[in-house]
C-alpha cells in the first residue's frame, strides 16, 4: 500500500486526491491516536485547526472538524493563519493536537493536511504510520450524546496571541528599516505586515489580498522576481518573500540580489555565535545546502550537521542534539527557542534584527557566504522508488563524481510531495554544473 503521508503531511489535488471523505476519516483517525492520553481525564480532548486562504481549505476544515468531533474531540478553529501560528497556538491553548490545512508553496488547486502533537510538534514517521493503520480499521460510529465533541467556529483572539509571541521573540527596534514583504496572497497576508510594523519597520506589502484562488499565483517565495522589482521601485533596504503557509522566508537585498535560506542560516548562525546563543556551536541543515555554507561555517569554526530534506528531519536533529538553529535552503529556518517549526515571519524579524543591531546592510551580511553555482533539475517520473538504484543511474553518478572530485558534488533524490526525481549538481563554474546535471537528468528520464 502506498504511504499516505509524505515528507510534510498529506498532500494532493483537492477534491480529487485529497477529498472531504478522506479528510473526515483522517481527522477521526488522528483524533483517536493523538488524544489517546487524554481520554481518562475530566477535560475533553481539544484540537486546533488553522488553514491558508485557498478555497478548498474551507471544505477540508469542515470535514476534519467533523471527523475529530465525531471521536469526542472539541475543535477550536482559528481561521486563516500561518503554519507556525497553528503550531504555537496548539501549545498556547494547551490543545492535545493541531492541524494546518495548506499545500504550502504548491498551486491553488492542491491542498494538504499537517498534524501537530501536544506542544505543537510535528509527528514522527511511526505516529503517522499508526494514524494510517487506524484509518483502515476505523469504526463507522463513535461516541453519542454528551460524548460528541463541540466545534468552536473561530477563536477571535488567536491572531493577537501569535503577534504577541512574535514581538516577544524578536524585540529589536527596527526603526529606519524599510522592507517589502510579498505575502504570496497566503496565510501571512495580514500577520506578517502587522508583525513587521509592530517591530518598527516601514512596510510595503504586496500580494496581501487573498481571494481564495490567487495563493502563490505568480508571487511569493517561488516567484522571487516580484519582490525584487518592488524593492528596487521603493528603494527599500530589503525584501522578504513568504510561501502560502508562511513557514518559509527568502530575502533580497537593496540591490535586488536573492538571499536564500543557506545565506540566511549563515547570517543567523554568525549572529547567534556572537551572542553566545548558538548551542554547541552547531548549525543543522539538509543535504541540499550549498557547499558554500559548509565552507563559511568551517571558516567561522561552526560545526555543520546535515539531514535528509524536510524541516521535520532538521527539527528531529535539533531536538536530539539540543541545538538552537537549523533550516533548509528553501527558507525554512528553525529556531527552537521561539517555535516548534519553521516560521517565515520570525525569520524575517531575525534578519532585520541583525541588520539593526550591526548597522550593516543585508548585502554585506550575506557576503559571509559565497554561493557556489548549483543546478537543480526536476525530472518527471512514474516510479520514484526504482530510480536511485538503477545500474545506469549509479554508473552516471560515479562518472559525475569522478569528474567533479573535491570541487563539487552530486545529489539525486526523489521528491517527497510530487512524482519527480531531483537532480542537483554543484561545481565551481555554472556551465560545468549545468552540463553534468543535464547529462544525469537525461539518464534518469531514460530509465
pLDDT given for residue 409 in this prediction: 86
Sign of CA dihedral 424, 430, 436, 439: positive
Summarised one tens digit per residue, pLDDT across range 52-102 is 999 999 999 999 999 999 999 999 999 999 999 999 999 999 999 999 999
Backbone dihedral angles phi then psi of residue 30, each to the nearest 5 degrees:
-65, -40
Residues 260 and 308 in one domain: yes
Neighbour-count burial for 28-58, b at 16+ CB within 10 Å, e otherwise: bbbbbbbbeebeeeeebbbbbbbbbbbebbe
Residues 357 and 421 in one domain: no
Residue with cell 548562525: 269
- Domain's final residue, options 156, 173, 199: 156
Summarised one tens digit per residue, pLDDT across range 336-373 is 999 999 999 999 999 999 999 999 999 999 999 999 89
Residues 150 and 188 in one domain: no
Three cell numbers at 57? 481549505
Name the residue among 377, 24, 353, 22 with its Cα closest to residue 199: 353
Three cell numbers at 400? 559525475
Q: How far apart are CA 64 and CA 66, in angstroms?
A: 5
Please give the residue range of the domain that contains residue 222.
Answer: 161-366
Q: Sort strands 303-307 and 282-286 into parallel, antiparallel or unpaired.
A: parallel
Name the residue among 240, 239, 334 with its Cα closest to residue 282: 334
Considering the candidates 69, 70, 104, 330, report the single residue annotated as catalytic: 104
Summarised one tens digit per residue, pLDDT across range 408-423 is 889 888 886 678 889 9
Residues 150 and 171 in one domain: no
Q: What confidence tier does 1 reach under pLDDT thresholds 50, 70, 90?
A: low
Residue 120 pLDDT more than 70? yes
Residues 249 and 352 in one domain: yes
In a domain, 423, yes or no: yes
Name the residue among 88, 372, 83, 53 with its Cα closest to residue 249: 83
In a domain, 5, yes or no: no
In a domain, 3, yes or no: no
pLDDT given for residue 387 in this prediction: 82
104 classed as catalytic: yes
Residue 42 pLDDT more than 80? no
What average pLDDT does the structure give for the chain?
94
Residues 66 and 173 in one domain: no
Q: Sort strands 97-101 and 46-51 into parallel, antiparallel or unpaired.
A: parallel
Q: What percent of the chain has pLDDT over 70?
A: 99
Q: SS3 of 387, please? A: coil
User: CATH number for the domain including 403?
Assistant: 3.30.310.50
Query: Do residues 307 and 287 lie in contact, with contact meaning Cβ atoms separated by under 8 Å?
Result: yes
Summarised one tens digit per residue, pLDDT across range 187-235 is 999 999 999 999 999 999 999 999 999 999 999 999 999 999 999 999 9
Q: What confidence tier does 428 reach under pLDDT thresholds 50, 70, 90?
A: confident
In a domain, 1, yes or no: no
pTM reported for the whole predicted model: 0.89
User: CATH number for the domain including 114?
Assistant: 3.40.120.10
Residue with cell 499537517: 114
- Domain's final residue, options 156, 181, 196: 156
Q: How far apart are CA 447 and CA 138, in angstroms?
A: 40
In a domain, 37, yes or no: yes
pLDDT given for residue 346 in this prediction: 97
Question: What CA–CA distances, in Å, run from 107 to 61, 103, 112, 421?
Answer: 18, 8, 11, 19
pLDDT given for residue 51 in this prediction: 98
Residues 172 and 301 in one domain: yes
Total domain count, the chain: 3
In a domain, 316, yes or no: yes
Q: Provide long-range contacts, Cβ within 8 A and 24+ apart, for 195-199.
A: 195/163, 195/166, 195/167, 195/345, 195/348, 195/349, 196/345, 196/348, 196/349, 196/352, 198/163, 198/166, 198/167, 199/167, 199/170, 199/171, 199/172, 199/173, 199/174, 199/349, 199/352
Q: How far apart are CA 393 and CA 399, in angstroms?
A: 10
Q: Is 245 annotated as a binding residue?
A: yes
pLDDT given for residue 49 in this prediction: 98
Q: Is 247 annotated as a binding residue?
A: yes
Residues 337 and 217 in one domain: yes
Residues 152 and 23 in one domain: yes
In a domain, 4, yes or no: no
Residues 260 and 139 in one domain: no
In a domain, 2, yes or no: no
- Domain's final residue, options 156, 172, 188: 156
Residues 140 and 178 in one domain: no
pLDDT given for residue 241 in this prediction: 98
Residues 99 and 143 in one domain: yes
Amino acid at each position: 500500500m502506498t504511504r499516505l503521508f509524505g515528507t510534510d503531511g498529506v498532500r494532493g489535488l483537492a477534491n480529487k486526491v485529497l477529498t472531504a471523505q478522506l479528510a473526515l476519516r483522517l481527522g477521526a483517525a488522528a483524533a483517536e491516536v493523538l488524544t489517546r492520553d487524554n481520554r481518562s481525564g475530566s477535560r475533553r480532548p481539544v484540537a486546533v485547526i488553522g488553514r491558508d486562504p485557498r478555497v478548498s481549505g474551507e471544505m477540508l476544515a469542515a470535514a476534519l472538524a467533523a471527523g475529530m468531533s465525531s471521536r469526542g474531540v472539541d475543535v477550536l478553529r482559528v481561521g486563516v493563519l500561518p503554519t507556525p501560528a497553528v503550531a504555537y497556538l496548539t501549545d498556547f491553548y494547551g490543545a492535545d493536537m493541531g492541524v494546518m490545512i495548506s499545500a504550502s508553496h504548491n498551486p491553488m488547486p492542491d491542498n494538504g493536511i499537517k498534524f501537530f502533537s501536544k506542544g505543537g510538534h510535528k509527528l514522527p514517521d511511526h505516529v503517522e504510520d499508526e494514524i494510517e493503520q487506524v484509518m483502515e480499521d476505523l469504526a463507522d460510529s463513535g461516541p453519542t450524546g454528551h460524548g460528541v465533541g463541540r466545534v468552536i467556529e473561530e477563536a477571535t483572539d488567536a491572531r493577537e496571541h501569535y503577534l504577541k509571541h512574535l514581538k516577544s521573540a524578536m524585540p529589536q527596534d527596527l526603526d529606519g528599516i524599510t522592507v517589502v514583504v510579498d505575502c504570496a496572497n497566503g496565510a501571512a497576508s495580514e500577520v506578517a505586515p502587522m508583525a513587521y510594523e509592530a517591530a518598527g519597520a516601514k512596510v510595503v506589502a504586496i500580494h496581501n489580498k487573498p481571494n481564495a484562488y490567487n495563493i502563490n499565483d505568480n508571487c511569493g517565495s517561488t516567484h522571487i522576481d516580484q519582490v525584487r522589482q518592488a524593492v528596487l521601485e521603493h528603494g527599500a533596504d530589503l525584501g522578504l518573500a513568504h510561501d502560502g503557509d508562511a513557514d518559509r522566508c527568502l530575502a533580497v537585498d537593496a540591490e535586488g540580489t536573492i538571499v536564500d535560506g543557506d545565506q540566511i542560516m549563515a547570517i543567523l548562525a554568525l549572529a547567534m555565535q556572537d551572542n553566545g546563543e548558538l548551542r554547541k556551536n552547531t548549525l543543522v541543515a539538509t543535504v541540499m545546502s550549498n557547499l558554500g555554507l559548509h565552507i563559511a561555517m568551517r571558516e567561522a569554526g561552526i560545526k555543520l550537521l546535515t539531514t535528509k530534506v524536510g524541516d521535520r528531519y532538521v527539527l528531529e536533529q535539533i531536538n536530539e542534539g539540543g541545538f538552537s538553529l537549523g533550516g533548509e535552503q528553501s527558507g525554512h529556518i528553525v529556531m527552537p527557542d521561539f517555535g516548534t517549526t519553521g516560521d517565515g515571519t520570525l525569520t524575517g524579524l531575525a534578519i532585520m534584527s541583525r541588520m539593526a543591531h550591526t548597522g550593516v546592510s543585508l548585502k554585506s551580511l550575506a557576503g559571509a557566504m559565497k554561493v557556489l553555482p548549483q543546478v537543480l533539475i526536476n525530472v518527471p517520473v512514474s516510479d520514484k522508488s526504482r530510480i536511485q538504484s538503477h545500474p545506469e543511474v549509479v554508473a552516471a553518478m560515479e562518472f559525475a563524481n569522478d569528474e567533479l572530485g573535491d570541487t563539487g558534488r552530486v545529489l539525486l533524490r526523489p521528491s517527497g510531495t510530487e512524482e519527480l526525481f531531483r537532480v542537483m549538481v554543484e561545481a565551481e563554474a555554472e556551465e560545468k554544473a549545468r552540463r553534468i546535471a543535464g547529462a544525469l537528468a537525461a539518464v534518469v528520464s531514460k530509465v
